[in-house]
Amino acid sequence: MLDKTGFDLWADDYDKAVGVSDVENTYPFAGYKEVLGRIFQTVLEKQNPTVLDIGFGTGTLTAKLYERGCAIYGQDFSPRMIELASGKMPEAQLYQGDFTRGLVEPLYHQSYDFIVATYSLHHLTDEQKAAFLRTLRDCLKEDGQILIGDVAFETREELDRCREAAGDEWDDEEIYFVADELKRAFPELSFTPVSCCAGILTLHR
């Protein structure tokens, strides 16, 4: 699994690397642009929302929301990703912090219309995901939503089929979302498949 130094090294090439996999419609980034596009549209249905991005990377999604007037907060552990994202969003409140240890303290001082996490939370175990989602849900405004876009499947069988098709490309160190299983902890969770290996999980407060 990549640590923050690994993500630093990936940062400068990240947008291009993701684009190639998406265009080729292959695991792991098939549907990446559509996932981000749909989350972008959902967020902009609200007027001037406050948005927290967990693992914002180079700011691919949040920089677009920033340009449209959203108040942007974020947490990522890679100094290079933060540097690249800050260049695109100088007024955003971007913090360095490892989300396996939860949110950094200043991010608790705010409540959010949307908390988004794209292609980042698969670094957590399923138990860590559930605990972190509970923490994040408490940081939402009354009508707020958590929107997770990632490699994700409705069922374990679908994940297994994708793993077989991906062969050696499959990353055993990443722990992908299985919506049916996460619904045991969050029965109100909804899942929208977007591609053969990607989808959006939505959780309301």
Binding site for ligand SAM (CB under 6 A): 7, 55-57, 60-61, 76-78, 81, 98-100, 118-120, 123
Rounded to a whole number of angstroms, the distance between the first and last alpha carbons of the chain is: 31
For residue 81 the two structure tokens come to 């990703």
CB atoms within 10 A of CB 17: 12
**Short-list 181, 178, 182, CA closest to 203:** 182
CB atoms within 10 A of CB 69: 10
The minimum distance between CB 14 and ligand SAM, in angstroms, equals: 7
Q: Which residue is nearest to ligand SAM (CB)?
A: 57
Indicate if the alpha-carbon torsion angle 83, 89, 90, 95 is positive or negative. Answer: negative
Contact indicator for 125, 173 with CB cutoff of 8 Å: no
Q: Rank residues 7 and 191 by Cβ distance to ligand SAM and give the closer one.
A: 7
Q: Rank residues 74 and 144 by Cβ distance to ligand SAM and give the closer one.
A: 74
Q: Rank residues 123 and 129 by Cβ distance to ligand SAM and give the closer one.
A: 123
The minimum distance between CB 187 and ligand SAM, in angstroms, equals: 27
Q: Rank residues 106 and 155 by Cβ distance to ligand SAM and give the closer one.
A: 106
The minimum distance between CB 196 and ligand SAM, in angstroms, equals: 18
Helix%, strand%, coil% for the chain, nearest 5: 45, 25, 35
The minimum distance between CB 117 and ligand SAM, in angstroms, equals: 7
Q: Rank residues 96 and 111 by Cβ distance to ligand SAM and give the closer one.
A: 96
The minimum distance between CB 26 and ligand SAM, in angstroms, equals: 16
Q: Rank residues 31 and 55 by Cβ distance to ligand SAM and give the closer one.
A: 55
The minimum distance between CB 188 and ligand SAM, in angstroms, equals: 24
Give the C-alpha separation, 34 to 56, whole Å: 17
CA–CA distances in Å: residue 62 to residues 90, 94, 199: 12, 11, 18
